[in-house]
Amino acid sequence: LEDVEAGIDLVFSTYPTLMSENGYGLVFPLDYINEPKEYSTKIFLYDKTYRTDPKPILEGCGCYTCINHTRAYLCHLHATHEILGEVLLSLHNQHHYYEFFKTIRRHITEGTFLSFKKNFLEHRYMDPKGPTQLSTNI
């Protein structure tokens, strides 16, 4: 967000792919309208707790993976060493990251980028005691 504020309009990041390779699905809120008080930034889909989870990676996500597959299926693919699990996870993570940048562009267009950035940083990374990681699952 600092780079976007400085005028950088081309961002290359391997973050979504790295998360996929390590079994994480991105689930951070794209905006802070009606955001729940508790949130996660990512979930480890290869954890056994997802073996029977019938939900998509992220409720309301419009990506191919979330529309067509469940957390349980992705967990199964990993357990059986199927590369399709990583591919489906990568599709979701790339889509979610793209949607995040789409949200950033919307805020720039609406003239609300600075307040979006402030809210994003306050809710994600800041603790009332100072700058610390909020979650150990980051």
CA 3 to chain centre: 19
Contact 30, 99 (CB under 8 A): yes
pLDDT in tens, 52-68: 999 999 999 999 999 99
Residue-level pLDDT at 10: 73
Long-range contacts of 3-9 (CB under 8 A, 24+ apart): 4/104, 4/108, 4/113, 4/117, 5/113, 5/114, 5/117
pLDDT in tens, 39-51: 678 999 999 999 9
- If you average pLDDT over each of 22-31, 91-100, 119-128, 129-138, which comes out highest? 91-100
The pTM of this model reads 0.80
Q: What are phi and psi of 97, to 5 degrees?
A: -65, -40
What SS3 state is found at 25?
strand
Tokens standing for 11? 């961002």
The percent of residues above 90 in pLDDT, for the chain, comes to 54
